[in-house]
Amino acid sequence: MRRYDEPVEVRRGPVPGWPGEGPAQLLWRGRLWKVRAVVAHWVETGPWWQHAHVHAVIGSEESGAGARGSTSDGGTALLEELLGEREVWRGEAGRGPGRPDPQDSQGLRAPTLPTTGVLELTHDTAEGRWQLVGCTD
């Protein structure tokens, strides 16, 4: 699987064979992709064990002044950061209409992206942000 870290626009809706809603369509690099099937779905937590405040509590040498995660709002933001989760969706998808593929000097189309593949998307539930993190064609 090729790894990416690119923002994508996602429209949630029904996905064939999946109960409830999932990422039904996405826009990646000017191309519309339609999710044909959800292969897997899970939730990941952030690496809370690497957070500066956790190191301070356990007395690790890695904690210090100016450490990541300091807050001034009574700890609410810190708690959200430590307990942050993201959904991961792996799905089979196919390209739909969008920006045309470039043409070579003879007018033949030279595809630059696969027309089908397995895409891995993440959804940051706190910020509502979607990212494409992997693709297999």
Is it the case that residue 9 has pLDDT exceeding 70?
A: yes
Average pLDDT rounded to a whole number, residues 48-70: 62
Are residues 18 and 42 both part of a single domain?
yes
Average pLDDT rounded to a whole number, residues 27-38: 95
Last residue of a domain, one of 58, 83, 108: 83
- Rounded to an integer, what distance in angstroms lies between the CA atom of residue 92 and that of residue 109? 24
Are residues 40 and 57 both part of a single domain?
no
pLDDT tens digits, one per residue of 103-129: 666 766 655 556 889 999 999 988 899
Are residues 42 and 54 both part of a single domain?
no
Helix (H, G, I), strand (E, B) or coil at 134: strand
Are residues 100 and 114 both part of a single domain?
yes
- Judged by average pLDDT, the poorest of 7-16, 49-58, 125-134 is 49-58
pLDDT band for position 45 (cuts 50, 70, 90)? confident
Are residues 42 and 94 both part of a single domain?
yes
Are residues 38 and 63 both part of a single domain?
no
Are residues 41 and 105 both part of a single domain?
yes
- Judged by average pLDDT, the poorest of 45-54, 57-66, 115-124 is 57-66
Average pLDDT rounded to a whole number, residues 67-82: 58
Residue 16, domain extent: 2-46+85-136
Is it the case that residue 39 has pLDDT exceeding 70?
A: yes
- The number of domains in the chain is 2
**117 pairs with which residues across the strands?**
93
Cα→Cα distances 71→42, 52, 75, 78, 100, Å: 29, 12, 6, 6, 47
Percent of the chain with pLDDT over 70: 69
**28 pairs with which residues across the strands?**
31
**136 pairs with which residues across the strands?**
118
- Record the pTM: 0.68
Q: Are 109 and 103 in contact (CB under 8 A)?
A: yes
Are residues 41 and 9 both part of a single domain?
yes
Place of tokens 């029904």: 14
